[in-house]
Amino acid sequence: MSSDTTGTATTFVLVSGTFTGAHVWEDTAARLTAAGADVRTPALTGLDGNPADGTAPDLETHIADVLAAVDSVDGAAGRRIVLVGHDYGIHPVLGAADRRAERIDRIVHLDSGMPQPGVPALAAVPDQGIRAELAAHTHPAGVLAPPTRDGWQRWGSTAGVPDAALDRLTALARPQPLGTLLQPLHLTGAVASVPTTGVLCTGNGASIEMVEMVVGFGEPALQALLDPQVTFFELATGHWPMLSCPADLAEVLLGAAAGEGHRLKGPAAEGAAEPAELPGHLRPFLLDVPELPHERTGNLDLYVPERADGPRPAVVIVHGGPVPAGAQPTPRDWPTLVGYARYAASLGVVAATFDHRLHDVTAYPPAAEDVADAVARVRRDPRVDPDRVALWFLSGGGLLTAEWLAAPPAWLRCLAASYPILAPMPNWGLPEGRFRPADAVRKAGDLPVVLTRAGREMPEIAATVAEFLAAAEDCAAAVEVIDVPSGHHAFETLDPTDESREAVRRAMRTVLGHLTA
Protein backbone atom coordinates (compact mmCIF):
# COMPACT_ATOMS: atom_id res chain seq x y z
CA MET A 1 0.00 0.00 0.00
CA SER A 2 1.99 2.96 1.25
CA SER A 3 5.72 3.35 0.84
CA ASP A 4 8.10 2.70 3.71
CA THR A 5 8.98 6.40 3.82
CA THR A 6 5.40 7.61 4.40
CA GLY A 7 5.42 7.00 8.13
CA THR A 8 8.79 8.63 8.73
CA ALA A 9 7.48 11.98 7.46
CA THR A 10 4.11 11.94 9.19
CA THR A 11 2.68 12.87 12.56
CA PHE A 12 -0.64 11.18 13.26
CA VAL A 13 -2.92 12.82 15.82
CA LEU A 14 -5.41 10.14 16.85
CA VAL A 15 -8.58 11.43 18.53
CA SER A 16 -10.92 8.98 20.21
CA GLY A 17 -14.71 8.95 20.36
CA THR A 18 -17.33 9.01 23.09
CA PHE A 19 -16.44 7.58 26.51
CA THR A 20 -12.95 6.53 25.39
CA GLY A 21 -9.39 7.78 25.46
CA ALA A 22 -5.85 7.17 24.28
CA HIS A 23 -5.94 3.56 25.48
CA VAL A 24 -8.02 2.47 22.46
CA TRP A 25 -5.19 3.48 20.10
CA GLU A 26 -2.36 1.56 21.79
CA ASP A 27 -2.00 -1.29 19.27
CA THR A 28 -2.52 0.91 16.21
CA ALA A 29 -0.17 3.58 17.53
CA ALA A 30 2.53 0.98 18.15
CA ARG A 31 2.31 -0.17 14.52
CA LEU A 32 2.43 3.38 13.19
CA THR A 33 5.43 4.11 15.38
CA ALA A 34 7.15 0.96 14.11
CA ALA A 35 6.64 2.33 10.58
CA GLY A 36 8.53 5.46 11.60
CA ALA A 37 5.58 7.76 12.23
CA ASP A 38 5.24 10.19 15.08
CA VAL A 39 1.97 9.50 16.96
CA ARG A 40 0.06 11.80 19.32
CA THR A 41 -3.06 10.66 21.22
CA PRO A 42 -4.30 13.81 22.97
CA ALA A 43 -6.17 13.39 26.23
CA LEU A 44 -9.57 15.03 25.98
CA THR A 45 -10.56 17.13 28.98
CA GLY A 46 -13.01 15.37 31.27
CA LEU A 47 -12.03 12.04 29.73
CA ASP A 48 -8.92 9.92 29.61
CA GLY A 49 -7.43 11.10 32.92
CA ASN A 50 -7.45 14.76 31.87
CA PRO A 51 -9.62 16.41 34.55
CA ALA A 52 -11.63 19.55 33.94
CA ASP A 53 -10.59 22.77 35.71
CA GLY A 54 -13.95 23.20 37.42
CA THR A 55 -15.86 24.28 34.30
CA ALA A 56 -17.96 21.87 32.29
CA PRO A 57 -16.03 20.67 29.22
CA ASP A 58 -17.70 21.27 25.87
CA LEU A 59 -16.78 20.80 22.23
CA GLU A 60 -14.60 23.92 22.21
CA THR A 61 -12.67 22.45 25.15
CA HIS A 62 -11.89 19.34 23.14
CA ILE A 63 -11.00 21.40 20.07
CA ALA A 64 -8.44 23.19 22.24
CA ASP A 65 -7.06 19.80 23.36
CA VAL A 66 -6.52 18.77 19.73
CA LEU A 67 -5.05 22.17 18.85
CA ALA A 68 -2.50 21.73 21.62
CA ALA A 69 -1.43 18.43 20.07
CA VAL A 70 -1.12 20.04 16.64
CA ASP A 71 0.86 22.96 17.99
CA SER A 72 3.24 20.62 19.78
CA VAL A 73 4.48 19.31 16.43
CA ASP A 74 7.62 21.13 15.32
CA GLY A 75 6.52 23.12 12.30
CA ALA A 76 10.11 23.47 11.10
CA ALA A 77 10.65 19.72 10.84
CA GLY A 78 8.65 19.41 7.62
CA ARG A 79 6.43 16.65 8.93
CA ARG A 80 2.97 16.04 7.48
CA ILE A 81 0.20 16.19 10.08
CA VAL A 82 -2.71 13.80 9.68
CA LEU A 83 -5.66 14.24 12.03
CA VAL A 84 -7.70 11.08 12.63
CA GLY A 85 -11.12 11.35 14.27
CA HIS A 86 -13.03 8.27 15.32
CA ASP A 87 -16.75 8.57 16.00
CA TYR A 88 -17.34 11.75 18.06
CA GLY A 89 -13.62 12.53 17.71
CA ILE A 90 -14.15 13.86 14.19
CA HIS A 91 -15.90 16.93 15.66
CA PRO A 92 -12.92 18.28 17.63
CA VAL A 93 -10.68 17.21 14.74
CA LEU A 94 -12.62 19.34 12.26
CA GLY A 95 -12.75 22.25 14.68
CA ALA A 96 -8.98 22.13 15.15
CA ALA A 97 -8.26 21.67 11.44
CA ASP A 98 -10.44 24.68 10.64
CA ARG A 99 -8.20 26.80 12.88
CA ARG A 100 -4.91 25.34 11.60
CA ALA A 101 -5.81 24.46 8.02
CA GLU A 102 -2.40 25.52 6.72
CA ARG A 103 -0.67 22.97 8.96
CA ILE A 104 -2.93 19.95 8.35
CA ASP A 105 -2.15 17.68 5.41
CA ARG A 106 -5.12 15.32 5.71
CA ILE A 107 -8.15 14.59 7.88
CA VAL A 108 -9.27 10.98 8.32
CA HIS A 109 -12.89 10.29 9.18
CA LEU A 110 -12.65 6.92 10.89
CA ASP A 111 -16.13 5.37 10.68
CA SER A 112 -17.62 8.77 11.38
CA GLY A 113 -20.06 11.04 9.64
CA MET A 114 -19.68 14.38 7.90
CA PRO A 115 -20.40 16.98 10.60
CA GLN A 116 -21.94 20.18 9.28
CA PRO A 117 -21.33 23.71 10.61
CA GLY A 118 -23.77 24.72 13.31
CA VAL A 119 -24.78 21.13 14.07
CA PRO A 120 -23.88 19.50 17.40
CA ALA A 121 -22.27 16.07 17.70
CA LEU A 122 -25.55 14.82 19.15
CA ALA A 123 -26.88 14.61 15.58
CA ALA A 124 -24.30 11.90 14.85
CA VAL A 125 -25.20 9.68 17.82
CA PRO A 126 -26.45 6.51 16.11
CA ASP A 127 -29.10 5.45 18.61
CA GLN A 128 -32.26 7.45 17.99
CA GLY A 129 -33.53 6.82 21.52
CA ILE A 130 -30.36 8.27 23.05
CA ARG A 131 -30.57 11.28 20.71
CA ALA A 132 -34.14 11.99 21.75
CA GLU A 133 -33.25 11.70 25.44
CA LEU A 134 -30.26 14.02 25.19
CA ALA A 135 -32.08 16.56 23.02
CA ALA A 136 -34.29 17.31 26.02
CA HIS A 137 -31.30 18.50 28.08
CA THR A 138 -31.09 22.27 28.47
CA HIS A 139 -28.17 22.28 30.93
CA PRO A 140 -25.05 20.89 29.24
CA ALA A 141 -23.09 20.73 32.51
CA GLY A 142 -23.99 17.09 33.13
CA VAL A 143 -22.52 13.86 31.83
CA LEU A 144 -23.74 10.84 29.93
CA ALA A 145 -22.98 7.55 31.67
CA PRO A 146 -20.84 5.13 29.66
CA PRO A 147 -22.40 1.95 28.29
CA THR A 148 -22.42 -1.38 30.04
CA ARG A 149 -20.57 -4.17 28.32
CA ASP A 150 -23.71 -5.15 26.38
CA GLY A 151 -24.59 -1.52 25.67
CA TRP A 152 -21.75 -0.69 23.27
CA GLN A 153 -23.85 -1.98 20.36
CA ARG A 154 -26.04 1.09 20.73
CA TRP A 155 -22.98 3.16 19.77
CA GLY A 156 -21.69 0.99 16.93
CA SER A 157 -21.14 -2.62 15.95
CA THR A 158 -18.64 -4.47 18.14
CA ALA A 159 -18.06 -7.06 15.41
CA GLY A 160 -14.50 -8.39 15.56
CA VAL A 161 -13.65 -6.94 18.97
CA PRO A 162 -12.13 -9.70 21.17
CA ASP A 163 -13.88 -10.34 24.49
CA ALA A 164 -10.86 -9.16 26.48
CA ALA A 165 -10.72 -5.91 24.51
CA LEU A 166 -14.43 -5.33 25.05
CA ASP A 167 -13.99 -5.94 28.77
CA ARG A 168 -11.16 -3.39 28.86
CA LEU A 169 -13.12 -0.89 26.79
CA THR A 170 -15.93 -1.11 29.34
CA ALA A 171 -13.64 -0.93 32.36
CA LEU A 172 -11.81 2.18 31.11
CA ALA A 173 -14.85 4.01 29.75
CA ARG A 174 -15.60 7.38 31.30
CA PRO A 175 -18.75 9.55 31.39
CA GLN A 176 -19.07 11.83 28.35
CA PRO A 177 -19.52 15.54 29.19
CA LEU A 178 -22.87 16.58 27.74
CA GLY A 179 -21.49 19.89 26.49
CA THR A 180 -19.28 18.04 24.03
CA LEU A 181 -22.38 16.55 22.39
CA LEU A 182 -24.72 19.53 22.66
CA GLN A 183 -22.51 22.45 21.59
CA PRO A 184 -22.74 23.20 17.84
CA LEU A 185 -19.63 22.85 15.70
CA HIS A 186 -18.44 26.27 14.53
CA LEU A 187 -16.36 26.35 11.34
CA THR A 188 -15.04 29.25 9.27
CA GLY A 189 -14.83 27.18 6.09
CA ALA A 190 -11.03 27.00 6.02
CA VAL A 191 -11.16 23.25 6.69
CA ALA A 192 -12.76 22.69 3.27
CA SER A 193 -9.33 23.05 1.65
CA VAL A 194 -7.82 20.15 3.61
CA PRO A 195 -7.74 16.75 1.81
CA THR A 196 -9.80 14.05 3.52
CA THR A 197 -10.08 10.29 3.71
CA GLY A 198 -13.05 8.26 4.85
CA VAL A 199 -12.39 4.87 6.44
CA LEU A 200 -15.64 2.92 6.32
CA CYS A 201 -16.28 -0.10 8.53
CA THR A 202 -18.56 -2.44 6.61
CA GLY A 203 -19.53 -4.38 9.72
CA ASN A 204 -21.08 -1.18 11.02
CA GLY A 205 -23.19 -0.74 7.90
CA ALA A 206 -21.08 1.57 5.73
CA SER A 207 -19.30 0.82 2.46
CA ILE A 208 -17.86 2.61 -0.55
CA GLU A 209 -20.62 1.19 -2.76
CA MET A 210 -23.26 2.62 -0.42
CA VAL A 211 -21.57 6.02 -0.42
CA GLU A 212 -21.40 6.05 -4.23
CA MET A 213 -25.09 5.17 -4.43
CA VAL A 214 -26.15 7.95 -2.05
CA VAL A 215 -23.88 10.53 -3.71
CA GLY A 216 -25.52 9.59 -7.01
CA PHE A 217 -28.89 10.72 -5.63
CA GLY A 218 -27.60 14.29 -5.82
CA GLU A 219 -27.60 15.37 -2.16
CA PRO A 220 -25.80 18.76 -2.29
CA ALA A 221 -23.96 18.26 1.01
CA LEU A 222 -22.37 15.07 -0.34
CA GLN A 223 -21.10 16.41 -3.68
CA ALA A 224 -17.86 17.46 -1.97
CA LEU A 225 -17.04 13.75 -1.77
CA LEU A 226 -16.43 13.77 -5.53
CA ASP A 227 -13.39 16.03 -5.06
CA PRO A 228 -10.19 14.22 -6.16
CA GLN A 229 -8.67 15.14 -2.78
CA VAL A 230 -11.20 12.84 -1.09
CA THR A 231 -10.29 9.16 -0.84
CA PHE A 232 -11.91 6.12 0.78
CA PHE A 233 -10.89 2.85 2.33
CA GLU A 234 -12.98 -0.04 3.69
CA LEU A 235 -12.33 -2.29 6.63
CA ALA A 236 -14.36 -5.49 7.01
CA THR A 237 -15.02 -5.04 10.70
CA GLY A 238 -17.25 -3.24 13.18
CA HIS A 239 -17.08 0.26 14.59
CA TRP A 240 -13.88 -0.17 16.64
CA PRO A 241 -11.17 -1.20 14.13
CA MET A 242 -8.41 -0.05 16.48
CA LEU A 243 -9.52 -2.92 18.74
CA SER A 244 -10.60 -5.48 16.17
CA CYS A 245 -7.92 -5.10 13.47
CA PRO A 246 -5.23 -2.62 14.59
CA ALA A 247 -2.66 -3.81 12.04
CA ASP A 248 -5.10 -3.33 9.14
CA LEU A 249 -6.08 0.07 10.47
CA ALA A 250 -2.46 1.18 10.74
CA GLU A 251 -1.84 0.13 7.15
CA VAL A 252 -4.90 2.06 5.99
CA LEU A 253 -3.81 5.18 7.88
CA LEU A 254 -0.39 5.02 6.27
CA GLY A 255 -2.08 4.70 2.89
CA ALA A 256 -4.32 7.65 3.65
CA ALA A 257 -1.30 9.76 4.61
CA ALA A 258 0.23 8.89 1.23
CA GLY A 259 -2.90 10.08 -0.59
CA GLU A 260 -3.98 6.59 -1.54
CA GLY A 261 -7.47 5.16 -1.55
CA HIS A 262 -10.56 4.89 -3.72
CA ARG A 263 -11.86 8.04 -5.40
CA LEU A 264 -15.53 8.37 -6.25
CA LYS A 265 -16.53 8.85 -9.85
CA GLY A 266 -18.96 11.65 -10.55
CA PRO A 267 -20.55 13.02 -13.72
CA ALA A 268 -18.21 14.61 -16.20
CA ALA A 269 -17.73 18.35 -15.88
CA GLU A 270 -19.51 20.71 -18.27
CA GLY A 271 -17.64 20.92 -21.53
CA ALA A 272 -15.72 17.68 -20.91
CA ALA A 273 -14.81 15.54 -23.91
CA GLU A 274 -16.64 12.51 -22.51
CA PRO A 275 -20.41 12.67 -21.93
CA ALA A 276 -21.60 12.60 -18.34
CA GLU A 277 -22.33 9.11 -17.03
CA LEU A 278 -25.79 8.72 -15.59
CA PRO A 279 -26.02 7.65 -11.95
CA GLY A 280 -26.95 4.00 -11.63
CA HIS A 281 -30.54 4.66 -10.53
CA LEU A 282 -31.24 6.82 -13.62
CA ARG A 283 -30.03 4.38 -16.26
CA PRO A 284 -32.60 2.65 -18.49
CA PHE A 285 -34.75 -0.21 -17.23
CA LEU A 286 -33.53 -3.55 -18.55
CA LEU A 287 -36.80 -4.55 -20.29
CA ASP A 288 -38.54 -2.91 -23.22
CA VAL A 289 -41.97 -2.11 -21.82
CA PRO A 290 -44.90 -0.25 -23.42
CA GLU A 291 -44.89 3.54 -23.05
CA LEU A 292 -48.01 3.49 -20.91
CA PRO A 293 -49.00 6.88 -19.44
CA HIS A 294 -49.81 7.33 -15.78
CA GLU A 295 -52.32 9.26 -13.72
CA ARG A 296 -50.74 11.47 -11.05
CA THR A 297 -52.59 12.50 -7.91
CA GLY A 298 -50.49 14.08 -5.18
CA ASN A 299 -47.59 11.73 -4.41
CA LEU A 300 -49.26 8.75 -6.14
CA ASP A 301 -49.02 7.57 -9.77
CA LEU A 302 -51.39 4.95 -11.20
CA TYR A 303 -50.68 2.88 -14.29
CA VAL A 304 -53.97 1.39 -15.52
CA PRO A 305 -54.20 -1.31 -18.22
CA GLU A 306 -55.51 0.04 -21.51
CA ARG A 307 -58.37 -2.48 -21.65
CA ALA A 308 -59.47 -2.92 -18.06
CA ASP A 309 -62.70 -4.94 -18.01
CA GLY A 310 -63.83 -4.30 -14.47
CA PRO A 311 -61.81 -3.99 -11.29
CA ARG A 312 -58.30 -5.39 -11.67
CA PRO A 313 -55.73 -6.68 -9.16
CA ALA A 314 -53.11 -4.13 -8.17
CA VAL A 315 -49.44 -4.11 -7.30
CA VAL A 316 -48.09 -1.22 -5.21
CA ILE A 317 -44.36 -0.62 -5.67
CA VAL A 318 -42.47 0.86 -2.72
CA HIS A 319 -39.14 2.56 -3.42
CA GLY A 320 -36.07 2.22 -1.24
CA GLY A 321 -33.84 4.73 0.46
CA PRO A 322 -33.00 6.76 2.33
CA VAL A 323 -33.35 9.19 -0.58
CA PRO A 324 -32.46 12.87 0.08
CA ALA A 325 -35.50 15.12 0.24
CA GLY A 326 -34.17 17.27 -2.60
CA ALA A 327 -33.38 14.42 -5.00
CA GLN A 328 -34.56 15.09 -8.56
CA PRO A 329 -36.19 13.28 -10.18
CA THR A 330 -38.05 11.75 -7.24
CA PRO A 331 -38.13 7.94 -6.95
CA ARG A 332 -41.50 7.39 -8.65
CA ASP A 333 -39.93 8.81 -11.83
CA TRP A 334 -36.86 6.60 -11.67
CA PRO A 335 -36.60 4.15 -14.59
CA THR A 336 -36.78 1.09 -12.33
CA LEU A 337 -40.08 2.03 -10.70
CA VAL A 338 -41.58 3.26 -13.95
CA GLY A 339 -40.36 0.10 -15.67
CA TYR A 340 -41.88 -2.26 -13.13
CA ALA A 341 -45.17 -0.33 -13.13
CA ARG A 342 -45.49 -0.28 -16.93
CA TYR A 343 -44.55 -3.94 -17.12
CA ALA A 344 -47.22 -4.91 -14.58
CA ALA A 345 -49.87 -2.78 -16.31
CA SER A 346 -48.99 -4.30 -19.68
CA LEU A 347 -49.82 -7.68 -18.14
CA GLY A 348 -53.26 -6.57 -17.04
CA VAL A 349 -52.98 -5.31 -13.45
CA VAL A 350 -53.12 -1.81 -12.04
CA ALA A 351 -49.69 -0.66 -10.85
CA ALA A 352 -48.93 2.16 -8.42
CA THR A 353 -45.77 4.04 -7.56
CA PHE A 354 -45.44 6.85 -5.06
CA ASP A 355 -42.94 8.99 -3.17
CA HIS A 356 -42.63 8.47 0.57
CA ARG A 357 -40.71 10.29 3.27
CA LEU A 358 -37.75 7.96 3.80
CA HIS A 359 -35.24 10.80 3.52
CA ASP A 360 -33.12 9.65 6.47
CA VAL A 361 -32.76 6.50 8.54
CA THR A 362 -34.76 8.26 11.26
CA ALA A 363 -37.74 8.54 8.90
CA TYR A 364 -38.98 4.96 8.74
CA PRO A 365 -42.09 5.75 10.86
CA PRO A 366 -43.40 8.51 8.53
CA ALA A 367 -42.46 6.40 5.50
CA ALA A 368 -44.56 3.54 6.93
CA GLU A 369 -47.49 5.95 7.27
CA ASP A 370 -47.05 6.95 3.63
CA VAL A 371 -47.09 3.32 2.51
CA ALA A 372 -50.30 2.61 4.40
CA ASP A 373 -51.90 5.76 2.97
CA ALA A 374 -50.90 4.93 -0.62
CA VAL A 375 -52.21 1.38 -0.30
CA ALA A 376 -55.53 2.61 1.08
CA ARG A 377 -55.90 5.10 -1.80
CA VAL A 378 -55.13 2.43 -4.39
CA ARG A 379 -57.66 0.04 -2.87
CA ARG A 380 -60.36 2.74 -2.96
CA ASP A 381 -59.93 3.30 -6.69
CA PRO A 382 -62.97 1.80 -8.50
CA ARG A 383 -60.70 0.24 -11.15
CA VAL A 384 -58.92 -1.82 -8.47
CA ASP A 385 -60.12 -5.05 -6.88
CA PRO A 386 -59.51 -4.17 -3.22
CA ASP A 387 -59.27 -7.83 -2.26
CA ARG A 388 -56.37 -8.61 -4.60
CA VAL A 389 -53.35 -6.44 -3.89
CA ALA A 390 -49.60 -7.14 -3.82
CA LEU A 391 -46.88 -4.99 -2.26
CA TRP A 392 -43.43 -4.88 -3.86
CA PHE A 393 -40.59 -3.34 -1.84
CA LEU A 394 -37.16 -2.35 -3.16
CA SER A 395 -33.79 -1.90 -1.40
CA GLY A 396 -34.01 0.11 1.85
CA GLY A 397 -37.79 -0.10 1.64
CA GLY A 398 -37.35 -3.70 2.76
CA LEU A 399 -37.59 -2.70 6.43
CA LEU A 400 -41.11 -1.43 5.71
CA THR A 401 -42.21 -5.01 5.02
CA ALA A 402 -42.13 -5.78 8.74
CA GLU A 403 -45.58 -4.49 9.68
CA TRP A 404 -47.22 -6.20 6.69
CA LEU A 405 -45.49 -9.49 7.51
CA ALA A 406 -46.42 -9.29 11.19
CA ALA A 407 -50.15 -8.86 10.51
CA PRO A 408 -50.94 -9.55 6.84
CA PRO A 409 -54.47 -8.44 5.88
CA ALA A 410 -56.66 -10.87 3.94
CA TRP A 411 -56.52 -8.73 0.78
CA LEU A 412 -52.69 -8.86 0.67
CA ARG A 413 -52.15 -11.72 -1.77
CA CYS A 414 -48.37 -11.44 -2.08
CA LEU A 415 -45.41 -9.50 -0.73
CA ALA A 416 -42.37 -9.08 -2.97
CA ALA A 417 -38.94 -7.67 -2.14
CA SER A 418 -36.08 -7.02 -4.53
CA TYR A 419 -32.49 -6.76 -3.20
CA PRO A 420 -34.01 -5.64 0.11
CA ILE A 421 -32.41 -4.51 3.33
CA LEU A 422 -34.13 -6.78 5.84
CA ALA A 423 -32.55 -5.67 9.11
CA PRO A 424 -31.43 -2.21 10.22
CA MET A 425 -27.77 -1.44 9.67
CA PRO A 426 -25.91 -1.32 13.02
CA ASN A 427 -25.22 2.40 12.63
CA TRP A 428 -28.87 3.30 12.00
CA GLY A 429 -29.92 3.12 15.64
CA LEU A 430 -33.57 2.26 14.98
CA PRO A 431 -35.72 1.58 18.06
CA GLU A 432 -36.16 -2.02 19.12
CA GLY A 433 -39.33 -3.88 18.21
CA ARG A 434 -40.14 -2.25 14.85
CA PHE A 435 -38.88 -2.51 11.27
CA ARG A 436 -37.30 -5.92 11.80
CA PRO A 437 -38.60 -8.26 9.08
CA ALA A 438 -36.67 -11.27 10.43
CA ASP A 439 -38.82 -11.11 13.57
CA ALA A 440 -42.02 -10.26 11.70
CA VAL A 441 -41.82 -13.14 9.21
CA ARG A 442 -42.55 -15.57 12.05
CA LYS A 443 -46.09 -14.15 12.09
CA ALA A 444 -46.64 -14.07 8.33
CA GLY A 445 -48.53 -17.35 8.19
CA ASP A 446 -49.05 -18.52 4.62
CA LEU A 447 -48.55 -15.10 3.00
CA PRO A 448 -46.51 -15.71 -0.19
CA VAL A 449 -43.21 -13.82 -0.18
CA VAL A 450 -41.18 -13.41 -3.39
CA LEU A 451 -37.59 -12.36 -2.66
CA THR A 452 -35.23 -11.42 -5.50
CA ARG A 453 -31.65 -11.75 -4.30
CA ALA A 454 -28.60 -10.16 -5.95
CA GLY A 455 -25.63 -12.49 -5.99
CA ARG A 456 -23.17 -9.58 -5.94
CA GLU A 457 -24.98 -7.72 -3.20
CA MET A 458 -23.13 -5.49 -0.75
CA PRO A 459 -21.98 -7.82 2.06
CA GLU A 460 -23.58 -5.73 4.79
CA ILE A 461 -26.97 -5.98 3.02
CA ALA A 462 -26.53 -9.65 2.09
CA ALA A 463 -26.10 -10.43 5.79
CA THR A 464 -29.56 -9.01 6.53
CA VAL A 465 -31.11 -11.16 3.80
CA ALA A 466 -29.39 -14.25 5.21
CA GLU A 467 -30.76 -13.43 8.67
CA PHE A 468 -34.28 -13.09 7.23
CA LEU A 469 -34.11 -16.32 5.25
CA ALA A 470 -32.85 -18.24 8.28
CA ALA A 471 -35.83 -16.99 10.28
CA ALA A 472 -38.19 -17.80 7.39
CA GLU A 473 -36.85 -21.34 7.14
CA ASP A 474 -37.15 -21.79 10.89
CA CYS A 475 -40.87 -20.96 10.83
CA ALA A 476 -41.57 -22.55 7.42
CA ALA A 477 -42.69 -19.24 5.91
CA ALA A 478 -43.83 -19.28 2.27
CA VAL A 479 -40.76 -17.57 0.82
CA GLU A 480 -39.67 -18.10 -2.79
CA VAL A 481 -36.17 -16.88 -3.62
CA ILE A 482 -35.29 -15.75 -7.13
CA ASP A 483 -31.54 -15.48 -7.49
CA VAL A 484 -29.60 -13.21 -9.82
CA PRO A 485 -26.12 -14.71 -9.31
CA SER A 486 -24.23 -12.03 -11.27
CA GLY A 487 -26.51 -9.17 -10.29
CA HIS A 488 -25.63 -6.16 -8.17
CA HIS A 489 -27.89 -4.13 -5.91
CA ALA A 490 -30.31 -2.36 -8.31
CA PHE A 491 -29.42 -4.80 -11.05
CA GLU A 492 -32.38 -3.64 -13.21
CA THR A 493 -30.34 -0.64 -14.36
CA LEU A 494 -26.78 -1.73 -13.53
CA ASP A 495 -26.83 -5.23 -15.06
CA PRO A 496 -29.02 -5.40 -18.19
CA THR A 497 -28.17 -9.07 -18.83
CA ASP A 498 -30.30 -12.01 -19.93
CA GLU A 499 -29.95 -13.41 -16.42
CA SER A 500 -31.30 -10.20 -14.89
CA ARG A 501 -34.13 -9.91 -17.42
CA GLU A 502 -35.28 -13.44 -16.74
CA ALA A 503 -35.22 -12.78 -12.99
CA VAL A 504 -37.47 -9.72 -13.41
CA ARG A 505 -39.85 -11.67 -15.67
CA ARG A 506 -39.98 -14.58 -13.26
CA ALA A 507 -40.59 -12.34 -10.28
CA MET A 508 -43.41 -10.52 -12.06
CA ARG A 509 -44.99 -13.79 -13.24
CA THR A 510 -44.86 -15.14 -9.71
CA VAL A 511 -46.38 -12.04 -8.11
CA LEU A 512 -49.15 -11.82 -10.71
CA GLY A 513 -49.78 -15.53 -10.32
CA HIS A 514 -50.58 -15.00 -6.65
CA LEU A 515 -52.76 -11.99 -7.51
CA THR A 516 -54.88 -13.82 -10.05
CA ALA A 517 -55.08 -17.22 -8.36
- pLDDT level of residue 178 (50, 70, 90 thresholds): very high
Torsion of CA 343, 349, 355, 357, to 10 degrees: -120
Largest CA distance in the chain: 83
- pLDDT level of residue 274 (50, 70, 90 thresholds): very low
Torsion of CA 231, 420, 130, 90, to 10 degrees: 0
pLDDT digits (tens, 9 = 90+) for 398-445: 999 999 999 999 999 999 999 999 999 888 888 777 899 999 999 999
- pLDDT level of residue 2 (50, 70, 90 thresholds): very low
Whole-number pLDDT of residue 73: 92
In this structure, whether the domain defined by 280-516 belongs to CATH 3.40.50.1820 is answered with yes
Whole-number pLDDT of residue 50: 58
247 DSSP assignment: H
Whole-number pLDDT of residue 53: 62
Same fold, 7-257 and 280-516: yes
Question: Average pLDDT of 319-325?
Answer: 93
87, 167, 170, 211 from 163: Cα distances, Å = 21, 6, 11, 31
Average pLDDT, the chain: 92
94 within 8 A of 185, measured Cβ to Cβ: yes
Whole-number pLDDT of residue 225: 92
- Three-state secondary structure of 271-294: CCCCCCCCCHHHCCCCCCCCCCCC
> Is residue 268's pLDDT more than 90?
no
Q: Residues in the chain, how many?
A: 517
- pLDDT level of residue 217 (50, 70, 90 thresholds): confident
> Is residue 243's pLDDT more than 70?
yes
Whole-number pLDDT of residue 49: 59
pLDDT digits (tens, 9 = 90+) for 115-150: 999 999 999 988 888 888 887 776 667 889 999 999
Whole-number pLDDT of residue 223: 85
**Residues in Cβ contact with 33 at an 8 Å cutoff, skipping those fewer than 6 apart:** 39
pLDDT digits (tens, 9 = 90+) for 433-484: 789 999 999 999 999 999 999 999 999 999 999 999 999 999 999 999 999 9
Q: Which residue type occupies 361?
A: V
119 DSSP assignment: -
Nearest alpha-carbon partner for 397 in 420, 376, 415, 380 = 420
Nearest alpha-carbon partner for 429 in 121, 129, 31, 37 = 129
DSSP-derived pairing of the beta strands 479-484 and 312-318: unpaired
pLDDT digits (tens, 9 = 90+) for 36-79: 999 999 999 988 655 666 678 999 999 999 999 999 998 767 78
121 within 8 A of 96, measured Cβ to Cβ: no
Whole-number pLDDT of residue 166: 97
Question: Average pLDDT of 384-409?
Answer: 97
- pLDDT level of residue 309 (50, 70, 90 thresholds): confident
* Least confident window among 135-144, 177-186, 270-279: 270-279
Whole-number pLDDT of residue 6: 61
What pTM did the predictor assign? 0.88
Percent of the chain with pLDDT over 90: 79
The DSSP result for 290-319, as a single string, is: -----EEETTEEEE--TT--S-EEEEEEE-
Nearest alpha-carbon partner for 211 in 134, 301, 137, 111 = 111
> Is residue 1's pLDDT more than 70?
no
Question: Average pLDDT of 161-185?
Answer: 95
30, 63, 125 from 74: Cα distances, Å = 21, 19, 35
Q: Give me the architecture of the 7-257 domain, per CATH.
A: 3-Layer(aba) Sandwich (3.40)
- Long-range Cβ pairs for the range 442-447 (8 Å, 24+): 442/471, 442/474, 442/475, 442/477, 443/405, 443/406, 443/407, 444/405, 444/406, 444/408, 444/415, 444/475, 444/477, 444/478, 445/408, 446/478, 447/405, 447/408, 447/412, 447/414, 447/415, 447/477, 447/478
Residue 86 parent element (H or E): strand 80-86
The DSSP result for 450-480, as a single string, is: EEEEETT--HHHHHHHHHHHHHHHHTT--EE
Nearest alpha-carbon partner for 316 in 382, 364, 388 = 388
DSSP-derived pairing of the beta strands 143-144 and 176-177: antiparallel
Domain ranges of the chain: 7-257, 280-516
Rounded Cα distance, 11 and 24, in Å: 18
Rounded Cα distance, 257 and 7, in Å: 8
Whole-number pLDDT of residue 276: 57
pLDDT digits (tens, 9 = 90+) for 77-116: 778 999 999 999 999 999 999 999 999 999 999 999 899 9
29 DSSP assignment: H
